Structures are given as C-alpha cells and as structure tokens.
Amino acid sequence: MMDVDRIAKRYVGIGLLLVIGLWLAGILMATIRPEWKLMSPIWISTAFCMFFLVAFAFLWRWIMKFHQDSITTLYSVVSGFRMLMALFTLFIVYLVVGRSAMLHYVVVFMVFYLVMVAFHSVYFSRITNRQ
C-alpha cells in the first residue's frame, strides 16, 4: 500500500523546487537582459505553475484516497484542463498587453509549462508503475 499523503507532499515539494529554479533562472535572465522585459511573464508563469501544482496534488490525493478507480481519467482530464487554462491565460495576457509584447510571454510561459508537464508525466508514471 502506498502512502498517498507522502507522495502528494513529495510531488509538491519537487515541483516547487522546479518552479523556484525556473523562477530564479528567469530572474537572472531578466537582470542580464532588462530590455527583454521578462519580469511580468516570469511572474505570470510562476503563478500558473504553482496554482496547478498545488491544485493537482490535492485533487490527486483525494482521488487516490476515495476513488482510486478513476485515476486514469483524472490524468487525462487534468492534461486537457491544464492546456485549456494555459491558452486562456495567454489569451487574457494578449488582451492586456497586445500583440507586440506576446512573444516574451509565450516563450517564457511555454518553458515553464513544458517543464511542468514533463515533471508531472515522469513523476506520476513512476508512481503508477510502482503499483
């Protein structure tokens, strides 16, 4: 039997370290190249990743405790919902900053997004394969 609480806490802990690492790398890049104007994209991407990291950990923990037979559906739903929310977030950014500033937002956001998707996939494939 696996310890669901420990696995969820470890997922959040490692995920937070990844987000903080990406945030620090972004801040370093923003200080080296201030003309790129990366501070807002970094903060938006960090907030998005942290929200989904914590929300998914709580949801995964609840599903594993009470509805374990629905876990594969959860993985599919979360992937689709994360993609829709990413598109929605970028659309809102587009409405706020306009077309000319979108390149910085998209590039920074996609780096954060792809790293977190890769982390999520690797972490939970290892958890699922252990069962």
- pLDDT of 1 > 70? The answer is no
Length of the chain: 131
Give the pLDDT confidence score for residue 61 in this predicted structure: 95
Domain that holds residue 29: 4-130
Instruction: Report which secondary-structure segment, H or E, holds 108.
Output: helix 102-130
Alpha helices in 33-101 (DSSP H): 39-66, 71-97
For the segment 71-101, what is each residue's pLDDT rounded down to a tens digit?
Answer: 989 999 999 999 999 999 999 999 999 999 8
Predicted local distance difference test score (pLDDT) of residue 95:
97
- Integer Cα distance of 110 and 116 in angstroms: 10
Q: Count up the domains in the chain and report the number.
A: 1
Digit-coded pLDDT (tens) for 54-74: 999 999 999 999 999 999 899
pTM confidence score: 0.93
* 34 residue type, one letter: P
Answer whether residue 2 shows pLDDT above 90.
no
Do residues 116 and 18 touch, judged by C-beta distance below 8 A?
Answer: yes
93 C-beta neighbours (distance < 10 Å), count: 19
